[in-house]
Structure 1
Amino acid sequence: MSTVVKTTIGEAKHHFGETVTIGCWLHGKRSSGKIQFLQVRDGTGFMQAVAVKNEVSETVWEAASRLTQESSLYITGVIREDTRSKIGYEMTVENVEIIQISTDYPITPKEHGVDFLMDHRHLWIRSPRQRAILVIRAQIIRAVQQFFDERGFHLVDPPILTPSSCEGTTNLFHTKYFDEDAFLTQSGQLYMEAAAMALGRVYSFGPTFRAEKSKTRRHLIEFWMIEPEMAFVDHEENLQVQEQFVAHIVQSVLENCKKELETLERDTSKLEQVKAPFPRISYDDAVKFLNDNGFEFEWGEDFGAPHETAIAQSYDKPVFITKYPTSLKAFYMKPDPERPDVVLCADLIAPEGYGEIIGGSQRIDDPALMEQRFQEHELSKEAYQWYLDLRKYGSVPHSGFGLGLERTVAWICGLDHVRETIPFPRLLYRLYP
């Protein structure tokens, strides 16, 4: 007596002509009276299962008839090739074993408002579009780890609770650490600098928090950052790593997530052009470009979303904007030796209006200049003494950058808002579910 193979929708293509069992949920159903077409999903994909009335028992037919949206079941049948199907195969049903009948599932095929969907985010992520986004997010994470692992980087986990700000800003979530004040981290970078002095090339990958009261389509309160730091690497080498990194991520998604990109109706022709090297424009030239194209913009101002979008539209790849004014950037960025009013930094601007996805720089390695910056920014030496020690004991040229995962997901998926890029987004007025 042969045992029926238990498999998944994603693996069913390896079982043509075989009888298999799949644990799944009913996504949708239609019937012609004598045939029931069951659209089922199991997390690995979606598949059609066809139940023919005169080919199954009355018990199986009745069980299939009882199924409602998001009911859970084990379905058994023969996997058959079907060229009309998006996945190339379907199941001819032999048996249906109901696990639970779902009643009054709140998300129906009709249109729902954003607030309703966000209130039901725990269920919304079951939909084909949201599943596709989360699959692509997972592939991006795999590509990130692969890129750094293959290049000799070590993964280092910085603390989430910190005694001070990374960039001297006030947009921090405050908490009590027993009898001390503490903050949720806004970046792991300073700790990565310490790790780079021990391990050479490192990266962190974890959640960060910004208490900015922002409601734009590019901002989340809680988001994930990838932050590499590299000893003995200068500004130019840093840019090369960044462009190779982003190109690797995009090509990995194109190669491994074709079905998901199709589900999102993403124009992949634009992503296919994302290969290193990337174009570069200095802050000075960017200001001139904006003034020449109808923007009133003065040197020393920071770029907003309309400015970044206008600059990006001139290129078919991500573009680096380099060497910003020193006054605009964080205290730790190294001034250009030939021009101290700008720093050796760059922001990487994604195409199609998605804005900055990477910020990076060469770091100050001169102890005296770092002490000066501390005074200028009124930073607490007590809180940062460990950071000053990095310049005191074996200081070296070093560089790093931070890539925001959710903005990168939004760009690659072609989404209108970052709230769909993370399973459970934390927004200005949303802490549920």
Structure 2
Amino acid sequence: MKTTVQLLKNHIDEEVKIGAWLANKRSSGKIAFLQLRDGTGFVQGVVVKSEVEESVWNDAKSVTQESSLYVTGTVQKDDRSPTGVELVVSKIEVIHEAVDYPITPKEHGTEFLMDNRHLWLRSKKQHAIMRIRNEIIRATYEFFNKEGFSKIDPPILTGSSAEGTTTLFHTRYFDEDAYLSQSGQLYMEAAAMAFGRVFSFGPTFRAEKSKTRRHLIEFWMIEPEMAFVEHDESLEIQEQYVSYLAKSVLENCKIELNTLGRDLSMLEKIQAPFPRISYDDAIKLLKEKGFDDIEWGEDFGAPHETAIAESFDMPVFITNYPKDIKAFYMKPDPEREDVVLCADLIAPEGYGEIIGGSQRIDDLELMKKRYEEHDLSPEAYEWYLQLRKYGSVPHSGFGLGLERTVAWLSGIEHIREAIPFPRLLNRLYP
């Protein structure tokens, strides 16, 4: 019976056949232990010299790291194994023998591993991170489908910026200027006016010359937008969504979390509702913690976000930022014109902002005023203005950065390991 490593637990005491690669091996004079992987997981294959043909033993002794194989054997229960089983091998068929595989069990530098990212993905740790990423994506679709959202795909090539910033990748679109999308939000607002509750999931690009462990040039965003939803209700949906992701990873990625050595108690705490602190109170808190230079009206950097998060043991919303440091489309607080109805969700353990969201301006005249204040091109943004002209409603939305969320839930140090092929300031290869 042909099967996969992931399904071996369903075939205890049965003979099966798997296709696999040799991740590593060790042997004595009588037994060889083959660490096998097939993409669905890792399992140990045990070859006992006295119980197999001489050719099988010779193959087990000589086969090289990352050679591809067909392995036949009997599945046995093994409580010491992360998968709960091991494979007692009876037959080995070498499909292709790998020669001088560059990533060996010894220590390698980060640059070497990044140059060999196409191979590094095969390692147990990187495999675990990508499996967690996949679970977050799966749970995202499940959550929003259950909550009645429709997935709508915004364009990647746009004629303008979502936030009026200068961190744009410019290109030519035949005879006019175009840019790689920083966000699908503006288009998702249009979609929300047609479908009520929508979300997008796709790549976004920021031409920021940053080398921090939190930044990528190309990253993936989940961006829901919701008609007839005001700020507080949006925050409730955000915390329910993040709690759902954490629960799904805990339930479905136990092997991967253990492989990474993740402190599961930190993830078990992630349950809605999340604490909230206003920008005003965050400034006071930072001053109490010794950040004497921070003044009202300044944006928070990584050290500030980390210091705020340390006061809580789960994600925390920082709400109502000053209008002047936020995007043009954010709705002012009806009780305070100098702040807007927005929030950033800060992950604990120093992982920083994972969600930014706000209630959007729904008043046509106020949006026209914002266009003038931010010197936005009426021609490029006319379609966006029309959303306030034809059946405007209160609406809110947010964006979750996939890679920051993967890094946080996985407990890894650097965001570059949270995406299969990272694009960094000085890296476009492989």
The normalised TM-score by structure 2 is 0.99
Equivalent-residue separation in structure 1 for 2:8 and 2:213 (angstroms): 39
Instruction: Indicate the residue corresponding to 1:369 in structure 2.
Output: 366
Instruction: Indicate the residue corresponding to 1:64 in structure 2.
Output: 60
Find out whether 1:116 has 2:108 as its counterpart: no
User: Root-mean-square deviation (CA), in Å?
Assistant: 0.7
Match of 1:342 among 321, 327, 339: 339
Equivalent-residue separation in structure 1 for 2:248 and 2:89 (angstroms): 36
Match of 1:207 among 197, 203, 228: 203
Deviation at 1:214, TM superposition (A): 0.4
Find out whether 1:326 has 2:323 as its counterpart: yes
Match of 1:54 among 47, 50, 57: 50
Match of 2:122 among 126, 130, 139: 126
Q: Give matches, 1:247-286, under 5 Å.
A: 247-286=243-282
Deviation at 1:375, TM superposition (A): 0.3
Equivalent-residue separation in structure 1 for 2:87 and 2:345 (angstroms): 47
Deviation at 1:86, TM superposition (A): 2.4
Equivalent-residue separation in structure 2 for 1:291 and 1:192 (angstroms): 38
Deviations 1:113-135 (A, max 9, x none): 00000000000010000000000
| Number of residue pairs aligned between Structure 1 and Structure 2 | 429
Instruction: Indicate the residue corresponding to 1:96 in structure 2.
Output: 92
Task: Give the SS at the match of 1:146.
Answer: helix
Unmatched 5+ stretches in structure 1: none
Instruction: Indicate the residue corresponding to 2:73 in structure 1.
Output: 77
Match of 1:219 among 205, 215, 221: 215
Deviation at 1:66, TM superposition (A): 1.9
Q: Give matches, 1:340-419, under 5 Å.
A: 340-419=337-416
Task: Give the SS at the match of 1:432.
Answer: coil
Match of 2:145 among 146, 149, 152: 149
Deviation at 1:37, TM superposition (A): 1.1
Deviation at 1:30, TM superposition (A): 1.0
Equivalent-residue separation in structure 2 for 1:215 and 1:69 (angstroms): 34
Deviation at 1:83, TM superposition (A): 2.3
Match of 2:240 among 241, 244, 255: 244
Match of 2:298 among 296, 301, 306: 301
Unmatched 5+ stretches in structure 2: none
Equivalent-residue separation in structure 1 for 2:375 and 2:301 (angstroms): 27
Deviation at 1:58, TM superposition (A): 1.4
Deviation at 1:29, TM superposition (A): 1.0
Equivalent-residue separation in structure 2 for 1:399 and 1:283 (angstroms): 19
Deviation at 1:88, TM superposition (A): 1.7
Task: Give the SS at the match of 2:255.
Answer: helix
Deviations 1:147-193 (A, max 9, x none): 10001000000000000111000100001111111000000000000
Deviations 1:210-245 (A, max 9, x none): 000000000000000000000010011111000101
Instruction: Indicate the residue corresponding to 1:27 in structure 2.
Output: 23
Deviation at 1:93, TM superposition (A): 1.1
Equivalent-residue separation in structure 2 for 1:333 and 1:86 (angstroms): 48
Task: Give the SS at the match of 1:51.
Answer: strand
Equivalent-residue separation in structure 2 for 1:276 and 1:84 (angstroms): 35
Given residue 420 of structure 1, which amino acid in structure 2 is its aligned partner? E
Deviation at 1:415, TM superposition (A): 1.1
Deviation at 1:50, TM superposition (A): 1.1
Deviation at 1:424, TM superposition (A): 0.3
Deviation at 1:84, TM superposition (A): 2.5
The normalised TM-score by structure 1 is 0.98
Equivalent-residue separation in structure 2 for 1:143 and 1:217 (angstroms): 25
Equivalent-residue separation in structure 2 for 1:288 and 1:83 (angstroms): 52
Instruction: Indicate the residue corresponding to 1:314 in structure 2.
Output: 311
Equivalent-residue separation in structure 2 for 1:404 and 1:293 (angstroms): 28
Given residue 308 of structure 1, which amino acid in structure 2 is its aligned partner? E
